[in-house]
Structure 1
């Protein structure tokens, strides 16, 4: 049998580039410089004696051999990951509790699939989800009420480590019968003529939007204010007006009544990140769940 001379880092680099079809994006995911990532790919190609990617300054694509090798590479990494999960030293925590604090859009979008996978590996470990506002999530992590959090604030807190995992733009939520529902994009200034609905001023999303629109001459005026984005979507479905929400807050494509329209001039976005307390190590169980969240979020981008 031919000897395998490449290591796990080269295999991970290959899968990351194949997932993103971008050396720069893959390098960011792996916390590497683009030149360092390129060297890993070149080393792997040299060891295998084949070209895995067709690449130019503007385009990256898998070769036929690369597509074939990708299936084997994924299977190998997943098998290894499963083995690591099975032997992780959780002897003292075969039963226990992991608490995750997260903003509701993250809880709705990708957290359920992560928890399902985690429960399959550790069926006796309970998971508690605190799906609260951004400020409450941050406070839960700082005070130790949660093991870690998924949030879009916390970068300025000295006691909190923030690692970005997902960037999302704000979009306009409209009812399918609304005149704007067929538009490809909507300018924020156009919302000054609409019945605009928003979350209240205590919301982190409201702070982001108000800051982004501070210098706009025409900006929307809110007719209705609520505490939660989910309530906003209910009002939109009822035909009471339109609302700006994070993209993850909207249901998947094919919803019977809701439509998502890109908002431009300006584009407003937020970065979701994993937050933990500095100098407070996670338990082995919490670390496994945190790593699962990280990988799932990156695959969703």
Structure 2
């Protein structure tokens, strides 16, 4: 045998077909090729192996001892190749697969439910894994490839990730409808001076952005309650404990008729929600399909307000 020779898949398919059918014409019909093509493939295989595989007669082809020994291995290789091809087709057709998304619990609560329902209904064979993590962890999950992608707002994305805006958003103040700030169409950062405010605890989530923006605006915020979850801030505000500061999309998603959401201006601060992927890594068909589903479900809220 030529040490540099490796049988091709086409040659192995021709060999198995001829072995089973004993005729070149019948093998050609099964493989949807010409009889001369099958004859050439068998000849190439015999030349490469430097051994005769079939004894030719006027009526049929008879496998040699070498062909009998080779048949089980050839059939096993073709089964594996067919299984691999089926697996790739199923992945491409979203008939199987796994998608892992890194996202904070607060954000997941209002951007994920409808997208998960739709995707799970359309692709029930694809497993969705939601990795809920702290705001300062989700980029690390993406870089460490523990998640296929992340959903959130990285404070310092860096050169190792790519981002795509999923939802346009900005910081806002949320107050009760009977609060003095509610009558304003927009609220300036300077208008927050002296107001007892509720927001997330120092160093967590949006708090660094809030503190830095207030500092640039020359405003000393009076934060009287610091929370870990924006949902806590919302019910505190609804209970009359004071206005809260948070991304407007989250506050609007709560759909509480007793609350008013006003954008903060001078300056207006963007807080866009993004899809975060590791640079140089493409998404699987299933992961990309879930991102597309997420975009569709958020489209009405994605327009700038």
TM-score category, normalised to shorter length: 0.5 to 0.7
Change (3 A) 1:154 1:187: closer
Q: Deviations over 1:19-74 (max 9, x none)?
A: xxxxxxxxxxxxxxxxxxxxxxxxxxxxxxxxxxxxxxxxxxxxxxxxxxxxxxxx
The structural deviation recorded for 1:288 is 1.5
Contact between 1:89 and 1:284, CA under 8 Å: does it hold in 2? Answer: no
The structural deviation recorded for 1:196 is 1.0
Q: Partner residue of 2:184?
A: 183
Which runs of structure 2 are paired with 1:276-287 in the superposition (5 Å)?
Answer: 276-287=277-288
The structural deviation recorded for 1:215 is 2.2
Matched, 1:249 2:256: no
Q: Partner residue of 1:101?
A: 102
The structural deviation recorded for 1:106 is 4.0
SS of residue paired to 1:270: coil
TM-score of the superposition, structure 1-length normalised?
0.63
Q: Partner residue of 1:272?
A: 273
The structural deviation recorded for 1:293 is 2.3
TM-score of the superposition, structure 2-length normalised?
0.63
Matched, 1:112 2:119: no
Change (3 A) 1:111 1:262: same
Taking the aligned partners of 1:98 and 1:245, their CA distance within structure 2 comes to 29
Contact between 2:248 and 2:263, CA under 8 Å: does it hold in 1? Answer: no
The structural deviation recorded for 1:223 is 1.0
Q: Partner residue of 1:213?
A: 214
Taking the aligned partners of 1:105 and 1:167, their CA distance within structure 2 comes to 17
Change (3 A) 1:276 1:120: same
Contact between 2:173 and 2:243, CA under 8 Å: does it hold in 1? Answer: yes
Taking the aligned partners of 1:263 and 1:122, their CA distance within structure 2 comes to 40
Which runs of structure 2 are paired with 1:70-81 in the superposition (5 Å)?
Answer: none
The structural deviation recorded for 1:98 is 1.6
Taking the aligned partners of 2:178 and 2:95, their CA distance within structure 1 comes to 52
The structural deviation recorded for 1:242 is 1.0
Which runs of structure 2 are paired with 1:97-176 in the superposition (5 Å)?
Answer: 97-104=98-105, 106-153=107-154, 156-176=157-177
SS of residue paired to 2:219: coil
For the aligned residue pairs, the C-alpha RMSD in angstroms reads: 2.6
The structural deviation recorded for 1:235 is 1.3
Of the two, which has the highest radius of gyration? 2
SS of residue paired to 2:272: strand
Taking the aligned partners of 1:107 and 1:115, their CA distance within structure 2 comes to 10
The structural deviation recorded for 1:157 is 2.3
The structural deviation recorded for 1:99 is 1.5
Contact between 2:138 and 2:150, CA under 8 Å: does it hold in 1? Answer: yes
Contact between 1:189 and 1:220, CA under 8 Å: does it hold in 2? Answer: no
The structural deviation recorded for 1:96 is 4.4
Q: Partner residue of 2:240?
A: 239
Taking the aligned partners of 2:89 and 2:156, their CA distance within structure 1 comes to 30
Contact between 2:92 and 2:285, CA under 8 Å: does it hold in 1? Answer: no
Taking the aligned partners of 1:257 and 1:211, their CA distance within structure 2 comes to 29
Alignment: residue pair count: 215
